[in-house]
Amino acid sequence: MFAHILGGMKVKTSVTLSEELLEAIASQSSENNRSALIEEATWRYLRLRRREARDKVELDLINRNADLLNNEVFDVLDYQDNE
């Protein structure tokens, strides 16, 4: 899980990218750093996807329990109002 932070073992691979994307990568890095840029961007994207999936699960949970949560809020407000 933390291999990318610690600089885990690197494996040479080949991917096919559009010329436009390669030009954009080249404009943001030296030729020696293309792999580092692609790796960093990929890790960020994967973290974003995990966060979005987690947020969706949490939002679904909140939405499934919205009526119960709202009723609890109304109870608290009624209690505070009656004091």
Q: What's the sign of the alpha-carbon dihedral 35, 36, 37, 39?
A: positive
Residue 28, sorted as left (phi over 0), alpha (psi -120 to 50) or beta, turns out to be alpha
State the pLDDT at residue 5.
57
* Of 4, 47, 42, nearest in space to 21 by CA: 42
83 vs 21, higher pLDDT = 21
Q: Residue 31: its pLDDT value, please?
A: 72
Residue 68 has pLDDT above 60, yes or no: yes
Sign of the CA dihedral running 27, 32, 36, 38? positive
pLDDT (tens digit per residue) in 13-64: 999 999 999 999 999 988 779 999 999 999 999 999 999 999 999 999 999 9
Instruction: State the pLDDT at residue 23.
Output: 93
